[in-house]
Every structure is written in C-alpha cells, then in structure tokens.
C-alpha cells in the first residue's frame, strides 16, 4: 500500500523553490507539512457522505496525470481544490502548517504566505496521485464507490494518515490538529 513518503517523492520541491524564489530547504519543510495537511483535510471532508462523494468525483476527474514540473500544474485548479478542502479556514490552516513546518525543521523562513503560495501548486499533484491510487490508473469513476459514504476514498486517505510510513506520527498529529480545525478527522 502507498504511504505519504511515496506521495512526497512526487512533489517537485526544487522546482517549487525555484518558481517561488525561496531556498529549497524552506520549500521542503513547507511541503513536508502541506502534503499531510492536504490529506488530513481531505480525510476530514471524506467523513461527510456528501463531501466524500464530491471528493470521489474530484479524484476521478481527469487532470492529466501527475505533473513533474510546476509549470505544468494548473494553479487555478489548485486554488479551487484548496478552497474545497479547507473552506473559510484556509488562513488558519496555513498559519498552523507554517508553525508546524518551522517547529519540525527549524526553517524559520516557512511563513503563512509561503504555505499559501505552495498549497495550490501541490494540491493538484496530490489529487492526481490519489486518483492513481484510488482508480488504479483508470480514468473513469467507479460507480460503487460513488454511492458509498466515505468508503474507498475515506479508507485510502485514512490509510495514508495512519499507515506504516515513517511520517505517520506526524500525520496523526497533523490529522488531529486539522481535524479539529475542519470539524472532522479523529475524535
């Protein structure tokens, strides 16, 4: 089963740093928090049957596969994904992710603004990666999974947060933090 470390390997950190004009260590520290933060936010949303169906539809939408370069990422689509995941709590989440990134890495340059710039770049990559995991490379939406509550997508997201990866404890902590902010997640 895939875990967060395999997802993190798909993020073009050096390209993000170059695009934003920031040090690669700062981009790396931010991405290390953003990816589990996005997954935790999606997992919190998947706990609601209506939001789970919407997420399943989004994951099933063909976004052209994983992007290996920032220039290939649709940042406007990324902004929509971030808005759907975090709603009106985007600023609060960005603040928490920046603080967590700074604490975890010691990279004091990870600011809320940097998180807000990286989120819409990373979000479509995360969604495309989830689509590959969820659909197994197929482009169409599996009918049975759309009708289930959180079902398949909720299980996939939960497995990423609580799976056997080396970052699972950080994912659990972040899942608790974001779950509380987003009204879902772990109890």
Residues with Cβ within 8 Å of 134's Cβ and at least 6 positions away in sequence, in order, are 56, 59, 60, 145, 152, 153, 156
Give the model confidence (pLDDT) of 24-58 as tens digits.
999 999 999 999 999 888 888 888 888 888 888 88
Between 83 and 109, the more confident residue is 83
Q: What is the mean pLDDT of residues 157-165?
A: 57
In this prediction the pTM is 0.76
Question: Domain-by-domain residue ranges, the chain?
Answer: 4-182
């Amino acid at each position: 089963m895939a875990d967060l470390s395999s997802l993190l390997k798909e993020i073009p950190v050096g390209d993000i740093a170059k695009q934003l004009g920031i040090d690669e260590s700062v981009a790396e520290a931010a991405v290390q928090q953003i990816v589990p933060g996005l997954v935790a936010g999606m997992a919190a949303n998947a706990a609601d049957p209506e939001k789970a169906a919407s997420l399943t539809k989004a994951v099933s939408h063909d976004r052209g596969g994983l992007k290996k370069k920032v220039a290939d990422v649709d940042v406007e689509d990324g902004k929509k994904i971030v808005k759907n995941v975090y709603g009106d709590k985007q600023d609060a989440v960005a603040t928490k992710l920046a603080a967590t990134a700074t604490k975890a890495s010691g990279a004091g340059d990870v600011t809320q603004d940097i998180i807000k710039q990286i989120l819409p770049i990373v979000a479509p990559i995360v969604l495309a990666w989830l689509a590959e995991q969820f659909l197994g490379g197929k482009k169409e939406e599996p009918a049975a999974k759309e009708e289930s509550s959180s079902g398949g997508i909720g299980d996939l997201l939960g497995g990423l947060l609580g799976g056997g990866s080396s970052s699972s404890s950080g994912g659990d902590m972040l899942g608790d933090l974001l779950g509380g902010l987003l009204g879902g997640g772990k109890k």
